[in-house]
A and B are shown apart, each in its own frame.
Chain A
Amino acid sequence: MFRRFMVVLGMVIGLAAVGCGPGAPTTAPLTRLTVGLGFTPSVQFAQFYRAQQQGYYRAAGLDVTFQNEIDPNLITLLGQGAVDIGMADGTSVIPAVGQGIPIRYAATIYARFPSIVMVAADSGIASAVDLRGRKVGIPGQYGSSWIMLQALLASGGLSPSDLTLQPFPEYGQEIALQQGLVDAATGFRNNEPVKLALQGFPTTILDIDQITPLPGPGLTVGEATLASKRDAVRAFVAATLRAMTEISADPEAGLDDAIAVVPELGSDRTTQLAILEATIDMWRSPYTDAHGLGAIDGGAWAESLDFMRGLPESNIPASLTADQLVTSEVLP
């Protein structure tokens, strides 16, 4: 009797110890990932919030923490390995790798370049050539919008010296355009023009998608992280792409998840939903339609590299190739 009791007791203790009783949760250790998003929490990061809220990251064995950083900080933190994965501008990855920062662009999030020039719909400005002699509001002569502007102007045989540039580092160019202080302004297709349209100020957008296929923001990883947490990064990318697919089909659900993480977004659902829908449009291009969300267009990267190398202030070495900038090894 005692022996039977001891056998049963041993089995109970054994089962409890390994945690494999009926319905017991998995106790496999989660891999921690620090993920850098843009400077401020925004509905534009809804896919990450959804994957977190719906438990896709945890189900993939990941313990994800979000951190908001401006792009230049994020790039160096990725290089150090202080941040594992970040939403970095493709146009920042190119000079950063050129300067020896060990990072790779691993998945496309914005398949179309979000930075654009916007003008009032009734301005009569319809193409880059029409910008000659105009006053254009910009955040500054740096970053992705500056590169976009140079590409756009070059398509019309112009350069920045053909314009009057008006810097607005606090991103006040949207208001300046509305108030008529400038003739045109740089902005993000999924932000300022959407808000202006909702305020009854329709705009015409000049973009560079058909001119120079600059790489938009995407998931970027440090080389060291890629080596040490490859499977975790792959799982993160897959969970994020799953959330993007779901949000594309049901933007309202994506907005709900974003509001759950950033409650302030709920104060104006109409605007936030419009921004999210415009963001979803940016996730897709003919290339990702053919190769799947997240796919990296190596040919477009090579073209962008050539373009950026030719810019006046470029410090990108001639030896840098597109293969050194991107990796497809963590894509599904």
Chain B
Amino acid sequence: MKSRWSHWASVVLPVAAAAVVFVAAWKAIVLIANYPDWFLPAPEVVAQRFAQAWLDGTMWRHASATLVEIGLGFVVGAGLAVAVGYLLARSRLAERLLSPYLVAAQATPILVLAPLFVVWLGTGLAAKVVICALIVFFPVAVATMVGIRSVDARLLELGRSLRASHWQVVRHLELPAALPQILGGMRIGVTLAVIGAIVGEWAGADRGLGVLINLARGSLFDFPLMFATLATIAGIAVLLYLVVVLVERALVGAWR
């Protein structure tokens, strides 16, 4: 009982304490500088607007669209990245052929690419999924490549000596061994997917949290709503990150 309490305290208390300090500092800045709501709304004003936007359905209408984009973009991007990352790890030729393009794609600002995808694919879901997938791809592919390359050669030797097929080696030796690195890349990728969805919405959409930010900022001058939307975006990113962490714990534990 005591150990469970101490575990809970060691995990939850620092998080709660950091949140309290953050909100208190925010409130203090607003109070000391006497900022109006249109410059920096106080936390309780944002909280009130946050609750109102969720209760009247405004936030969900936009958040649901963004979640679909993130989900599909992450699955497509991470799935391709694992396959390509494996290829890069096991084929020097593939690495030499693909690496320059992968690095170039990563270095090109997604803000510049996003409008092009909208022109090519239209303003529907496809462009957002591609933008999300593109931004997710690189960290997951690199993590996969590093993970696969770091698999102990003796382990692979053991597999071969037991006459394991190539697929058996991949499935039972390489992927489980590389899983911590792959999921580490996915932790980064899933937060980037959130950015990809918002950028995609800015490039052309009529629904989504990126659209709601534009509405709040550019049409309504409703800064509490803009901050409430930012809080929702941050919340989604944290939640998805925790999901990947939980999956990581479950999978890595199960496969070891």
* A contact residues around B118 at 8 Å (CB): 168-170
Least CB distance, B34 to chain A, in whole angstroms = 13
Q: Does B150 contact A (CB under 8 A)?
A: no
A99 to B211, CA, bound (A): 20
Least CB distance, A86 to chain B, in whole angstroms = 14
- Please tell me if the beta carbons of A315 and B220 are within 8 angstroms of each other in the complex: yes
A sample of 14 cross-chain residue pairs with beta-carbon separation below 8 angstroms, ordered by A number, consists of A72-B217, A75-B221, A95-B220, A96-B38, A99-B220, A100-B38, A140-B206, A141-B206, A143-B219, A166-B123, A168-B118, A170-B115, A170-B118, A313-B215
* B contact residues around A172 at 8 Å (CB): 115, 119
Q: Does B39 contact A (CB under 8 A)?
A: yes
A13 to B204, CA, bound (A): 68
A332 to B39, CA, bound (A): 32
Least CB distance, A91 to chain B, in whole angstroms = 9
A234 to B203, CA, bound (A): 40
Select from chain B the residue with minimum beta-carbon distance to A147.
B219
Least CB distance, B59 to chain A, in whole angstroms = 14
- Please tell me if the beta carbons of A167 and B215 are within 8 angstroms of each other in the complex: no
Least CB distance, B6 to chain A, in whole angstroms = 48
* A contact residues around B204 at 8 Å (CB): 140, 167-170
Q: Does A84 contact B (CB under 8 A)?
A: no
Q: Does B202 contact A (CB under 8 A)?
A: yes
Q: Does A114 contact B (CB under 8 A)?
A: no
**Contacting A169 at CB < 8 Å: which of B38, B115, B223?**
B115
- Please tell me if the beta carbons of A146 and B219 are within 8 angstroms of each other in the complex: yes
- Please tell me if the beta carbons of A142 and B38 are within 8 angstroms of each other in the complex: no
**Contacting B206 at CB < 8 Å: which of A95, A100, A165?**
A165
**Contacting A100 at CB < 8 Å: which of B37, B119, B219, B220?**
B37
Per-position binary interface string of chain A over residues 313-331, scored 1 when its CB falls under 8 Å from any chain B CB and 0 otherwise: 1010000000000000000
* A contact residues around B115 at 8 Å (CB): 169-170, 172
Least CB distance, A172 to chain B, in whole angstroms = 7
* B contact residues around A101 at 8 Å (CB): 38, 221
**Contacting B221 at CB < 8 Å: which of A72, A80, A166, A167?**
A72
* B contact residues around A146 at 8 Å (CB): 219
Q: Does B253 contact A (CB under 8 A)?
A: no
Q: Does A71 contact B (CB under 8 A)?
A: yes
| Top-5 shortest CB links A-B | A142-B219, A99-B221, A167-B204, A170-B115, A72-B218
Q: Does B36 contact A (CB under 8 A)?
A: yes
- Please tell me if the beta carbons of A142 and B37 are within 8 angstroms of each other in the complex: no
Size of the chain B interface, CB-CB below 8 angstroms: 23
- Please tell me if the beta carbons of B203 and A170 are within 8 angstroms of each other in the complex: yes
**Contacting A143 at CB < 8 Å: which of B37, B218, B222?**
B218
Q: Does A212 contact B (CB under 8 A)?
A: no
Scoring A75, A99, A143 by chain B CB atoms within 10 A of each residue's CB, the highest score goes to: A99
Select from chain B the residue with minimum beta-carbon distance to A169.
B204
Per-position binary interface string of chain B over residues 212-230, scored 1 when its CB falls under 8 Å from any chain A CB and 0 otherwise: 0011011111110000000
* B contact residues around A42 at 8 Å (CB): none
A167 to B215, CA, bound (A): 14
Interface size class for chain A? 20 to 34
Q: Does A53 contact B (CB under 8 A)?
A: no
* A contact residues around B220 at 8 Å (CB): 95, 99, 313, 315
* B contact residues around A140 at 8 Å (CB): 204, 206, 211, 214
- Please tell me if the beta carbons of B218 and A99 are within 8 angstroms of each other in the complex: no
- Please tell me if the beta carbons of A142 and B215 are within 8 angstroms of each other in the complex: yes
A168 to B204, CA, bound (A): 6
Select from chain A the residue with minimum beta-carbon distance to B205.
A167
Least CB distance, A330 to chain B, in whole angstroms = 23
- Please tell me if the beta carbons of B203 and A99 are within 8 angstroms of each other in the complex: no
A30 to B123, CA, bound (A): 50
Select from chain A the residue with minimum beta-carbon distance to B123.
A167
Select from chain A the residue with minimum beta-carbon distance to B116.
A170
A49 to B97, CA, bound (A): 52
A92 to B214, CA, bound (A): 13
Known: A143-B219, A167-B205, A169-B203. A100 touches B211 (CB 8 A): no
* A contact residues around B123 at 8 Å (CB): 166-168
* A contact residues around B219 at 8 Å (CB): 95, 141-143, 146, 313
Least CB distance, B202 to chain A, in whole angstroms = 6
- Please tell me if the beta carbons of A76 and B206 are within 8 angstroms of each other in the complex: no
Least CB distance, A317 to chain B, in whole angstroms = 12
Per-position binary interface string of chain A over residues 127-171, scored 1 when its CB falls under 8 Å from any chain B CB and 0 otherwise: 000000000000011110010000000000000000001111110
* A contact residues around B222 at 8 Å (CB): 99, 315
* B contact residues around A141 at 8 Å (CB): 206, 211, 215, 219
- Please tell me if the beta carbons of B215 and A80 are within 8 angstroms of each other in the complex: no
Least CB distance, A182 to chain B, in whole angstroms = 11
Select from chain A the residue with minimum beta-carbon distance to B215.
A142
Per-position binary interface string of chain B over residues 113-136, scored 1 when its CB falls under 8 Å from any chain A CB and 0 otherwise: 001001100010000000000000
A18 to B92, CA, bound (A): 80
**Contacting A92 at CB < 8 Å: which of B37, B203, B221?**
B221
- Please tell me if the beta carbons of B221 and A71 are within 8 angstroms of each other in the complex: no
* A contact residues around B217 at 8 Å (CB): 72
* A contact residues around B119 at 8 Å (CB): 172
Q: Does A79 contact B (CB under 8 A)?
A: yes
A43 to B15, CA, bound (A): 54
Per-position binary interface string of chain B over residues 33-72, scored 1 when its CB falls under 8 Å from any chain A CB and 0 otherwise: 0001111000000000000000000000000000000000
